[in-house]
């Protein structure tokens, strides 16, 4: 009897350790077979779902910075980071399950282990579209009704895609939209402060690094491993890197024409072939350099952490351990943020693309 109790206590200790490290096995996921009956809706909502994923943000946000307006990108990144962090943490605190399958058919597998409420796709889409609308309405001359329609259509398509793909309930989506609306309303008075982050004290950079890293390392513990903590670390680290990059540009005067923080009415320039070619060239150059820095930072940080914790490099599951996953993700995407805001514009200037 005593041996049985000791065995039970040992297993409980192991389970707690696994949860702390994020190694507790996730529920079994299975792939369902399906037949597409309406290809229009299928491709529309699969594409709309991609607008709320990493591939969109890693392209859209840098494109805004490199080709349109750094003033807008600063606001977009900070609000996006805030909204996404609250959404991700809310999921792992509430632990609201995703829709049961069956009856729904789940078309995505990567995030199937995450909880459901709120929908961070809906939160991110709402935050990006309406932050962009609010930030441009008094800065550029264009019909407000047109901007509002684009924001509503964008956020609606992404939100509906979560229902179509079977990843969220209506409650998940509505909660995500409402939470984002409240966050935008509460933070709007501080948006002018966001515009001045690049001129903050050097001590501010310590907080920019320390606070996000602390939040990632003390992320709510889940009963099994899911990509939520890793995604949250990626988001917070990217925001930290972008903020540091803006500060470096201001402090060392790397920006040739300092962006005015106060709204300035501008005319939207006409779209020409030369402008399109230049924009695509700047984007291609920037993405290539950013991906190279990402790969380099990831490899170096993993090598250091594997050596420090004496882990075999071929042990892929070790990346999911708390003490490895958070530092390597944080170093990698902080480097990405700094590269995108500082080194890419320097390369653009060197190549004569500015």
| pLDDT tens figures, 176-207 | 999 999 999 999 988 888 777 766 677 888 88
This prediction has a pTM of 0.84
Calculate helix-pair angle for 170-187, 120-136, nearest 10 degrees.
Answer: 40
Nearest alpha-carbon partner for 175 in 115, 113, 220, 254: 115
| pLDDT tens figures, 213-241 | 999 999 888 777 778 888 899 999 999 99
Choose, from 74, 75, 168, 329, the residue flagged as catalytic: 168
Q: Which is more confidently placed, 313 or 274?
A: 274
Helix or strand run (H / E) with residue 141: strand 140-141
Q: Phi, psi (5° rounding) for residue 105?
A: -110, 115
312: left (phi over 0), alpha (psi -120 to 50) or beta: beta
Both tokens of residue 81?
Answer: 């980071």
Q: Does position 116 have pLDDT exceeding 90, yes or no?
A: no
Percent of the chain residues topping a pLDDT of 70: 86
What's residue 264's pLDDT? 57
DSSP string of 234-273?
A: HHHHHHHHHHHHHHHHHHTT--SSPPPSS---EEPPPP-H
Q: Contact at 8 Å (CB) between 122 and 158? A: yes
Question: Pseudo-torsion of CA 348, 330, 50, 133, nearest 10°?
Answer: -70
Q: Does position 3 have pLDDT exceeding 60, yes or no?
A: no
What's residue 113's pLDDT? 72
What's residue 14's pLDDT? 42
What's residue 244's pLDDT? 92
Annotation marks residue 348 as catalytic? no
Nearest alpha-carbon partner for 262 in 201, 195, 184, 199: 195
Both tokens of residue 112?
Answer: 């199937």
Q: Phi, psi (5° rounding) for residue 250?
A: -70, -45
Q: List, in order, residues 6 or more apart from 79 with CB less than 8 Å away.
A: 127, 131, 183, 184, 187, 194
Q: Which residue has the tokens 């932050």?
A: 131
DSSP string of 1-41?
A: -HHHHHHHHHHHHHHHHHHHHT-SPPPP--PPP---S-HHH
User: Is the alpha carbon torsion for 130, 133, 135, 137 positive or negative?
Assistant: negative
Beta bridge partners of 266: 140
| pLDDT tens figures, 96-110 | 888 887 777 777 777
Annotation marks residue 168 as catalytic? yes
Q: Contact at 8 Å (CB) between 110 and 50? A: no
| pLDDT tens figures, 6-39 | 443 444 444 444 444 444 444 444 556 778 788 8
User: Is the alpha carbon torsion for 178, 124, 204, 219 positive or negative?
Assistant: positive
Q: Contact at 8 Å (CB) between 78 and 135? A: no
Report the C-alpha gap between 227 and 26 in whole angstroms: 11
Q: Contact at 8 Å (CB) between 239 and 81? A: yes
What's residue 32's pLDDT? 64
Report the C-alpha gap between 115 and 97 in whole angstroms: 5
Q: Phi, psi (5° rounding) for residue 169?
A: -90, 170
What Rg value do the Cα atoms of the chain yield, rounded? 22
Choose, from 74, 121, 162, 229, the residue flagged as catalytic: 121
Percent of the chain residues topping a pLDDT of 90: 40
| pLDDT tens figures, 128-142 | 999 999 988 888 888
Q: Is the peptide bond before 103 cis (omega within 30 degrees of 0)?
A: yes
């Amino acid at each position: 009897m005593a041996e049985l109790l000791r065995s039970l206590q040992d297993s409980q200790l192991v389970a707690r350790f696994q949860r702390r490290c994020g190694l507790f096995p996730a529920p079994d996921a299975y792939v369902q077979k399906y037949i597409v009956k309406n290809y229009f809706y299928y491709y529309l909502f699969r594409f709309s779902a991609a607008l709320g994923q990493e591939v969109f943000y890693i392209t859209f946000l840098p494109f805004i910075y490199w080709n349109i307006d750094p003033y807008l990108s600063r606001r977009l990144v900070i609000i996006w980071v805030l909204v996404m962090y609250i959404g991700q943490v809310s999921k792992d605190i509430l632990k609201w399950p995703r829709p049961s399958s069956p009856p729904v058919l789940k078309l995505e597998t990567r995030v199937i282990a995450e909880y459901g409420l709120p929908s961070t796709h809906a939160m991110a889409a709402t935050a990006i579209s309406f932050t962009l609308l609010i930030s441009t309405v008094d800065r550029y001359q264009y019909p407000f009704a047109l901007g509002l329609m684009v924001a509503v259509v964008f956020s609606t398509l992404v939100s509906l895609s979560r229902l179509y793909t079977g990843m969220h309930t209506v409650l998940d989506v509505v909660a995500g939209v409402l939470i984002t609306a409240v966050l935008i309303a509460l933070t709007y008075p501080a948006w002018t402060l966001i515009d001045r982050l690049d001129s903050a004290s050097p001590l501010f950079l310590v907080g920019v690094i320390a606070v996000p890293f602390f939040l990632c390392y003390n992320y709510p513990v889940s009963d099994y491993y899911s990509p939520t903590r890793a995604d949250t670390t990626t988001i917070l680290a990217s925001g930290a890197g972008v903020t540091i990059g803006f500060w470096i540009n201001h402090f060392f005067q790397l920006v040739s024409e300092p962006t005015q923080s106060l709204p300035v009415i501008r005319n939207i320039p006409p779209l020409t072939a030369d402008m399109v070619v230049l924009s695509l060239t700047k984007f291609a150059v920037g993405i290539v350099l950013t991906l190279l820095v990402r790969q380099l930072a990831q490899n170096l940080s993993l090598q250091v952490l594997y050596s420090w914790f004496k882990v075999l490099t071929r042990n892929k599951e070790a990346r999911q351990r708390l003490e490895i996953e958070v530092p390597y993700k944080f170093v990698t995407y902080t480097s990405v943020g700094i590269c995108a805001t500082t080194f890419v514009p320097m390369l653009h200037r060197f190549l004569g693309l500015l």
